[in-house]
Amino acid sequence: MSRFTTADGLGLHYEDTGSGQPLLCLPGLTRNTRDFDFLAPHMASCRMIAMDYRGRGQSDYADDYATYSVPQEAGDVIALLDHLGLDKVTVLGTSRGGLIAMALAAGHPDRLAAVILNDVGPVIAPGGIERIMQYVGVAPPYANLAEAAGAMAATLASQFPDLTDETWHRLAAAQFAEAAGGLALRYDARLREALIAQAQAGPPPDLWPLFDTLRPFPVGVLRGENSDILSPETLAEMQARHPDLVAATVPNRGHVPLLDEPQSLTLINRILKDAE
């Protein structure tokens, strides 16, 4: 297990495997390094780095949940790059990770070689936000991982119609930990309070100017065909603003593609080549 220490004293977990072109993988809002387990077997020629944000996975929980924010998490990413001695990386950002990637492009463009956004853009569809707030910070009601996997399969079958039982079990295990009396979250439940406080602070910021800072870079965007986060209209506007952007829609996937799909792998490899 590898860790580094942030400026405010938190120990953050990261994984650093392989050699070659560095690909920094940033997970979703409540997720962790396991977000990239399906991708990893296909990235043998890369140095693949993934991290757990503060309050997620195997990283320390913050005393102040207000630091569970995109700007702070972007700062933690720069601290990781400094710790590893990496000048530039290609960032693959899943959902929340994509927002962090845009923040990095705005604040630290010299550290980026390219960006891949996995099912996220400057506009988050309201229905997706509502769905996320239904579960963030809520203790899992399942007795075990098998029950959780079954519930996930039943709930998300329309978005992911072709996943196997084994895949659903892996996804459940990535989100929940077995504990006495049932399952526990693999992140700080106070993340919910952070999101509520940020929403109450004012209207959400306009993220289009942030997205526009990606124009100098090779950029790829993956969209799940059944996504409730990234709409076709938002993707079309992203393409209009960044004419060189490479986009792919992944069939039979909602939020988010698992990244082992042929469409995902083709796009990721294309952007990595463009970043060389």
Give the neighbor-by-neighbor strand order of the sheet with 112-118.
2-5, 11-17, 46-51, 21-26, 89-94, 112-118, 219-224, 246-250
Alpha helices in 95-176 (DSSP H): 96-107, 126-135, 145-156, 165-175
One-character DSSP codes across 171-203? HHHHHEEEETTEEEESB-TTHHHHHHHHHHTSS
The pLDDT of residue 204: 87
The pLDDT of residue 73: 98
The pLDDT of residue 242: 97
* CATH fold label, 2-136+204-275: Rossmann fold (3.40.50)
Nearest residue to 87 via CA among 117, 109, 107: 109
* 105-153 confidence digits (pLDDT tens): 999 999 999 999 999 999 999 899 999 999 999 999 999 999 999 999 9
Counting residues of the chain whose pLDDT is more than 90, the rounded percentage is 97
**Interval 16-30 mean pLDDT:** 97
Above 80 in pLDDT, residue 1? no
The pLDDT of residue 181: 87
Confidence of residue 40 (pLDDT cuts 50, 70, 90): very high
| Domain locations in the chain as residue ranges | 2-136+204-275, 138-186
Nearest residue to 27 via CA among 45, 17, 13: 13
Q: What is the pTM assigned to this prediction?
A: 0.97
* Torsion angle (degrees, nearest 10) of CA 147, 125, 109, 39: 30
* 172-222 confidence digits (pLDDT tens): 999 999 998 899 999 999 999 999 999 999 888 999 999 999 999 999 999
Counting residues of the chain whose pLDDT is more than 70, the rounded percentage is 100
Which own/partner pairs from 238-241 qualify as long-range (CB within 8 Å, at least 24 positions apart)?
A: 238/121, 238/122, 238/211, 241/208, 241/211, 241/212, 241/215
The pLDDT of residue 143: 95
